[in-house]
Structure 1
Amino acid sequence: MNKQEKRTVILGASTNPMRYAYLAAEMFAERKIPFIPVGIKKGKVFGEEILDLREKPSIDNVHTITLYLGPTNQKEWYNYIISLQPKRIIFNPGTENQELMDLARSNNIETCRACNLVLLSTGQF
């Protein structure tokens, strides 16, 4: 699978350079992997407008969702996450949530407990 086919939603995107979601966006941009930042704060990250999570934006052809929302903030978005029909969801450190993992698997979505930054750095993404 080439990079263009791994279209990724960064759920919990941020314009704050100190946040891991920002670093992930930077790494996607550097590697020319298409990404769609989705969060609750407005702004742009590496040329991409952050879509408002509260509006549950429709996004087609999602390969991966990489989570940067803690488990307590995920529940209200379960249906939205599943509706994007990703091939996989990456649960970054601190976002692990067995309930969402089970829901994803029951919808034929692969789940992965991993650090997106490590996956990108080591060519495993």
Structure 2
Amino acid sequence: MKTLVIGATTNKERYAYKAIHNLIGKSHQVVALGVKEGMALDIKIETEKKPFSGIDTVTMYVNSEIQKGYYDYILSLKPRRVIFNPGTENPEFYEILKQNNIAFEESCTLVLLATNQY
């Protein structure tokens, strides 16, 4: 399963970085999109919305206002699901995802991984 982390960062204290670390630790493929280029472990943080293929899960680490700029992009990737981590809840986007038959959940990627529910 390939996961796209939106809101990726090189800051080891941020949850997006910790999610990348834990996803890799559980042998998930990871691609990352952030505001600044850099590396999160061995993962290159992209700043352009690339047409990644085979995305199973998108995990969000940006607020609902910033997410608006990603709606069409995420839909184009046709992920199986989108995870809205704490602080990223977005009822407007939930409706759009429902209309496009994409599952979503308000959850914490770190907790899902730690409890083997990812």
TM-score between the two structures when normalised by the length of structure 2: 0.97
Shift of 1:8: 0.3
CA distance in 1, matches of 2:46, 2:75: 17
Tell me which residue corresponds to 2:22.
27
Tell me which residue corresponds to 2:74.
81
User: Following TM superposition, where does structure 1 have runs of at least 4 consecutive aligned residues deviating by more than 6 angstroms?
Assistant: none
CA distance in 2, matches of 1:116, 1:100: 18
CA distance in 1, matches of 2:96, 2:59: 16
Matched, 1:113 2:106: yes
Tell me which residue corresponds to 1:3.
none
Identity %: 40
Conserved? CA contact 1:29–1:46, under 8 Å: no
CA distance in 1, matches of 2:43, 2:18: 14
Tell me which residue corresponds to 2:60.
67
TM-score between the two structures when normalised by the length of structure 1: 0.92
One-letter identity of the residue aligned with 1:97: N
Higher strand share: 2
RMSD between superposed Cα atoms in Å: 0.7
Matched, 1:11 2:6: yes
One-letter identity of the residue aligned with 1:68: Y
Tell me which residue corresponds to 1:124.
117
Shift of 1:28: 0.9
Matched, 1:56 2:49: yes
CA distance in 2, matches of 1:37, 1:12: 8
5+ residue gaps in structure 2? Answer: none
Shift of 1:40: 1.2
Aligned length: 118
Conserved? CA contact 1:89–1:112, under 8 Å: yes
Shift of 1:58: 0.8
One-letter identity of the residue aligned with 1:42: E
